Amino acid sequence: MEIIIRPTSLEGSLLAARIVARTVREKPHAVLGFATGSTPLVLYQELARLHREKGLDFGSVAAFNLDEYIGLPVDHPASFHHYMRRNLFEHLNIRPEHVHIPDGLAADIPAACRKYEDEIRSAGGIDVQILGIGTNGHIGFNEPSSSLASRTRIKTLTRQTRLDNAADFGGVENVPPHVITMGLGTILESRMCLLLAFGAKKAEAVSRMVEGPVTASLPASVLQLHPRSVIVLDREAAADLERAEYYEWTNSQKPEWQKY
């Protein structure tokens, strides 16, 4: 794991945007994996700015989203289809036919999940998978106890995750109990996993992810097994890391060609 600690979430988000932008410039046909939630919003705003002001071209980029609620109409304000359109896709020149988001309205959910896996493989695999982390350590909607080898599938949300997302639905009772999510095994096949975590409420999960054992009880810990996991934190999210000083020193000693 590469642990990058920045003083603020803004600085962390801008750094993450540079990583994604460099990937797109070096590989115009890049395949990007996107996450939702509040954590990547500034990253997406910066990508939109780079497209608008610097000509960053997404015309040949393919996009795959981590997850979607089951049974939620795509135009529902809390659906991830709606989130991605509003916060990113309508601000880029990405082609609609290149956008892939799990189909939460599919009549045959297992078949839709198999199709999603096939589409990722057909696209050549994901170059950069953007991730957040839940307070219980989930990535995507891979809740604690998820198989570390899991593939895209239906998952039942924990009460904690439904509570965390309740504000988007006007109460926990309105949060759909089921989702489609990329599996941990699917995520691990990405060439780079770029995880962002900001704020004190993520500090415990971050410390367990980075410095604890690899365990299905903390799904994000599986990123310890990935050859190129880049973890971008602000100081609050890094507060519980025992080796934070070492991570910062290591980052400061990078040769120029390794810097983002």
Q: Please identify which residue in the block is written with the tokens 């599986």.
A: 222
**Which amino acid, residue 196?**
L
Indicate whether 172 pLDDT > 90.
Answer: yes
Mind listing the pLDDT tens digit for each residue in 221-253? 999 999 999 999 999 999 999 999 999 999 999
Which tens digit of pLDDT belongs to each residue from 46-71?
Answer: 999 999 999 999 999 999 999 999 99
Question: What tens digit of pLDDT does each residue of 87-102 get?
Answer: 999 999 999 999 999 9
pLDDT, residue 25, reads 98
Select which of 51, 65, 67, 142 is catalytic. 67
Query: 199: phi > 0 → left, psi -120 to 50 → alpha, else beta; which?
Result: left
Question: What Rg do the C-alpha atoms of the chain give, in angstroms?
Answer: 17
CATH fold of 2-253, please? Answer: Rossmann fold (3.40.50)
Residue 117 has pLDDT above 90, yes or no: yes
Question: What 3-state class would DSSP assign to 184?
Answer: helix
Running DSSP on this structure, what letter comes out for residue 157? P
The share of the chain scoring above pLDDT 70, in percent, equals 100
Overall average pLDDT of the 160-184 stretch: 95
Residues linked to residue 180 through DSSP beta bridges, in sequence order: 68, 154
Which carries the bigger pLDDT value, residue 258 or residue 249? 249
Active site residue 136: yes
As a whole number of angstroms, the distance between CA 64 and CA 95 comes to 13
Q: Tell me: the pLDDT tens digits for 131-141?
A: 999 999 999 99
Provide the pLDDT for residue 175: 95
Question: What average pLDDT does this structure show over 122-131?
Answer: 98
| Sheet of 192-197, strands arranged across | 2-6, 229-234, 192-197, 128-131, 31-34, 62-65, 99-100
Residue 147's pLDDT band (cuts 50, 70, 90): very high
The average pLDDT across 5-30 equals 98
Percent of the chain with pLDDT over 90: 98
pLDDT at 191 over 90: yes
Measured CA to CA, the distance from residue 110 to residue 112 in angstroms comes to: 5
Tell me: pLDDT of 4 over 90: yes
Task: Dig out the tokens for 112 from the structure.
Answer: 């839709």
pLDDT of residue 225: 98
Residue 105 predicted with pLDDT over 90? yes
For the chain, the residue count is 260
**For helices 41-54 and 80-87, what crossing angle results, to 10°?**
40
State the pLDDT at residue 35.
98
Mean pLDDT, range 129-151, rounded to an integer: 97
67 is catalytic: yes
Catalytic residue among 136, 168, 211, 251: 136
Domain boundaries, the chain: 2-253
Residue 259's pLDDT is 87
Indicate which residue of 138, 226, 234, 236 is catalytic. Answer: 138
Q: What are phi and psi of 257, to 5 degrees?
A: -70, -15
